[in-house]
Amino acid sequence: MINGKHIAVVMPAYNAEKTLPATVAELPELVDIRILVDDHSSDRTVDLAHQLGLRIFQHDRNYGYGRNQQTCYREALAAGADVVIMLHPDYQYTPLLITALASMVAYGVYDVVLGSRIIGGTALRGGMPLYKYIANRALTAVENLFLRVKLSEYHTGYRAFSRKVLTELPLLENSDDFVFDNQMLAQCVHFGFGIGEVSCPTKYFEEASSINFGRSVKYGFGVLATTLQFALQRAHILNFRRFSDKGRKLDPGAYYARSKEAVRST
């Protein structure tokens, strides 16, 4: 708990057995709620999560990274979280920065805080492939131009959100795939939430999950499409439910009534 706010860490997992123990070992004691959502892994991720004392929710099939995050946030809100940190359990990002990210939200400095791999110039030193680094910088430049903000990157998987952000954004209008991350940040900008960043070292190694070149290209086009939609919405040329107050939002209370076949608690 920080400043009287309950802190939750949510981990969207898929075949994370090799890196999950190291990730959980570095979670700070101030974390009140520790949730892992398993997207139908084929390894021992769930067994290990049980041993590590995590709250576990399992999808009945592989729905995708975006849908996994929706479940993560629903369950954190239902558990009473005031600040929610999304952390990949692949140990690519250090959990030691959770206190810094959570504090900035808990004290109302920002609504959203990102762990940036770009600030401090650590991305390439940490092993980020050159083509991913170049794509990251190019896409970020385009997004900063059209979203009219100035972030060092939009593509980190280490993020902290206030409860207000997660209950007010129309997250159910977003993709089930990796571009969910980018769509969510575009929504944060559109609805006027304050976004801050902290420098975060990253580690690329064999066991850490990483999308392949083909999926990276698909993600890149998805980012450009999201940016175009944002610009068209801002210019009042077209309207998208993703950027509408009427878009579908998370509803923790009605979740199991609607979707109990899709996820179960263990």
Tens-digit pLDDT profile for residues 51-79: 999 999 999 999 999 999 999 999 999 99
List of residues 6+ apart from 171 with CB closer than 8 A: 69, 70, 73, 184, 187, 248, 249, 250
pTM of the shown model: 0.91
**Full set of structural domains in the chain with CATH:** 7-244 (3.90.550.10)
Per-residue CA distances from 100 to 2, 28, 80, 104 (Å): 11, 11, 21, 7
Residue 252 has pLDDT above 90, yes or no: no
Torsion-angle region of 149 (φ positive above 0: left; ψ -120 to 50: alpha; else: beta): beta
Q: What is the mean pLDDT of the chain?
A: 91
Q: Which amino acid is at 229?
A: Q
State which amino acid sits at residue 62.
Answer: N
Could you list the beta-strand ranges (E) of 102-194: 112-116, 159-162
Q: pLDDT by residue (tens digit) across 41-52?
A: 999 999 999 999
pLDDT of residue 257: 45
| Identity at 107, one-letter amino acid code | Y
Calculate the CA dihedral of residues 182, 183, 189, 192 and round it to 10 degrees. Answer: -140
pLDDT tens digits, one per residue of 253-264:
655 444 444 666
| CA-to-CA dists, residue 55 to 29, 93, 202, 258, angstroms | 16, 21, 26, 21
Phi, psi of 40 (to 5 degrees): 65, 55
Report the pLDDT value the prediction gives residue 255, as an integer from 0 to 100: 54
Phi, psi of 37 (to 5 degrees): -110, 120
Residue 266: pLDDT band by 50, 70, 90 thresholds?
low
Confidence of residue 236 (pLDDT cuts 50, 70, 90): very high
